[in-house]
């Protein structure tokens, strides 16, 4: 029996569940970060501390939500891949999405001072989020490749753009100069005009950031002879490497392992 005559309002609730046996990607993206980054004087095109703060939040996500197996971040966005077998909140989409976004945002605010000890947080950072589910590992990998290709295209463009602007061109002139240029033209421009070898720029800027659990060897103690006793364990790790080709994934088959049971 209903507890009160008002309880019928619950019938209006919907409770969408994410398809079973699919990989879940939650992508969050900073809201109006064009303005937020300007208000906080982030360096252009890449602010190392801002990116490291994002990475730190993503590490916290993997530590807090064990069913997240991989994360990829660039600029003001982060994608979190949940394992296909997760039963987290019975795969309720609202729960997964809202908890991800709010946890990430809280950590971002909490750790701001660690990364920007001399900058006051002037306005609340906030993020939007979406959930997409993919039925096969191949598509998850293609999704991540899509984000990393995007990182490359944007970073190469932005690096050229801001070098031109810093060298005295107006933003309009810089846009005009870059219109229709190919990747190799941009590399050439950086090299010829600014003596920059694009491939030597920090990997975090060029490749984005990958967060995953990796095997690390640790010394747990010294034995009687003073020799180190080592143990391997899985540690949440940040790296800036290629995830488009097969190497990364074939070296770590456990990350996106299909459940064959």
- What is the contact surface with ligand GTP in residues (CB under 6 A)? 29-34, 37, 42-44, 46-47, 50-51, 75-76
Told to check if 30 binds Mg ion by CB under 5 A, we report yes
User: Helices 48-64 and 93-115 meet at what angle, rounded to 10?
Assistant: 140
Please identify, using beta-carbon distances, which residue of 54 and 81 lies nearer to ligand GTP.
54
Footprint (CB under 5 A) of Mg ion, residues 74-103: 76
The torsion angles phi and psi of 166, rounded to 5 degrees, stand at -65, -25
Q: Across-strand partners of 225?
A: none
Please identify, using beta-carbon distances, which residue of 120 and 224 lies nearer to ligand GTP.
120
Please identify, using beta-carbon distances, which residue of 27 and 186 lies nearer to Mg ion.
27
**DSSP symbols for 7-73:** GGGGGG----B--TT-EEEEEEEETTHHHHHHHTT--SS--HHHHHHHHHHHHHHHHH-TTEEEEEE
Q: How far is the CB of 49 from ligand GTP (least distance, A)?
A: 9
Told to check if 150 binds Mg ion by CB under 5 A, we report no
- 47 interface partner picked from ligand GTP, Mg ion, none, CB below 5 to 8 A per type: ligand GTP
**Contact predicate 18/131, CB 8 Å:** yes
Told to check if 42 binds Mg ion by CB under 5 A, we report no
Please identify, using beta-carbon distances, which residue of 5 and 34 lies nearer to ligand GTP.
34
In a 3-state reduction of DSSP, which class is residue 241?
coil
Residues of the shown chain interacting with Mg ion in the complex, contacts defined by CB under 5 A: 29-30, 33, 76
């Amino acid at each position: 029996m209903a507890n009160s005559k008002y309880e019928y309002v619950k019938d209006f609730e919907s409770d969408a569940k994410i398809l079973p046996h699919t990989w879940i990607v939650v992508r969050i993206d900073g809201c109006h970060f064009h303005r937020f980054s300007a208000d906080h004087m982030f360096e252009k095109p890449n602010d190392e501390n801002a990116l490291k703060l994002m990475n730190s939040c993503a590490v916290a996500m993997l530590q807090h939500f064990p069913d997240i197996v991989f994360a990829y971040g660039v600029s003001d966005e982060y994608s979190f891949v949940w394992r296909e077998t997760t039963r987290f909140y019975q795969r309720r989409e609202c729960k997964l999405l809202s908890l991800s976004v709010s946890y990430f945002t809280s950590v971002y605010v909490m750790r701001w001072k660690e990364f920007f000890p001399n900058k006051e947080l002037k306005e609340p950072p906030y993020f939007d989020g979406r959930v997409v589910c993919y039925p096969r590992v191949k598509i998850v990998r293609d999704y991540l490749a899509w984000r990393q290709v995007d990182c490359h295209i944007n970073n190469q463009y932005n690096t050229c753009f801001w070098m031109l602007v810093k060298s005295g061109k107006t933003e309009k002139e810089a846009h005009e100069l870059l219109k229709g240029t190919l990747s190799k033209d941009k590399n050439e421009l950086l090299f010829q005009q600014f003596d920059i070898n694009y491939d030597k720029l920090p990997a975090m800027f060029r490749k984005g950031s990958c967060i995953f659990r990796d095997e690390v060897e640790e010394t747990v103690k010294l034995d009687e002879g003073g020799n180190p006793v080592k143990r391997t364990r899985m540690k949440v790790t940040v790296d800036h490497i290629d995830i488009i080709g097969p190497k990364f994934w074939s070296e770590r088959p456990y990350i996106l392992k299909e459940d064959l049971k």
